[in-house]
Amino acid sequence: MRLKNEDAYVLARENKLIRNWELSKEENEGKPDVISYGYESYDVWGPGQDAPWQTDNFPMYGTDGHEGWLENRPVYVGYTVASTWNGIIEMNQPLMNAIDEKKSKLRQYFPNDKLIVVFAGKQN
């Protein structure tokens, strides 16, 4: 689920739709979480991967335009289905089934929104 920006994320969190450190383990059970951008590089390539938040050519912290860039950067909320540091994930039927299952769960929290599948680089 792509939320429009940080304000949309805060609104959803205040409504307790998203996993939140302020809630108990039981209250967080099964809830979606924020999918982070990482900290080293935002560069993405491939068909349709040309949004302003998918490039390393963003205004650096403390420079003109950085705050506006942050305000317009969307926040992604959902479930992690597969993960790798630098391996290869195969788009096979078991993975597709797991994605469908998580999309059904996410639909409970965001019934009227368009759900999308994203791939995020993992940095530990």
Position 100 pLDDT exceeds 90: yes
What is residue 97's predicted lDDT score, i.e. its pLDDT?
A: 97
Closest by CA position to 72, among listed 9, 18, 116: 9
pLDDT of residue 13: 83
Half-sphere exposure of residue 108: CA atoms within 13 angstroms, side-chain side: 11
β partners of residue 78: 33
Task: Tell me how far apart the alpha carbons of residues 69 and 72 are, in angstroms, rounded to a whole number.
Answer: 5
- What tens digit of pLDDT does each residue of 40-91 get? 667 788 898 888 777 767 777 888 888 887 777 888 899 989 988 778 889 9
Whether residue 109 is predicted with pLDDT greater than 70 in this model: the reply is yes
Q: What is the mean pLDDT of the chain?
A: 84
pTM more than 0.85: no
> For 80, which DSSP code?
-
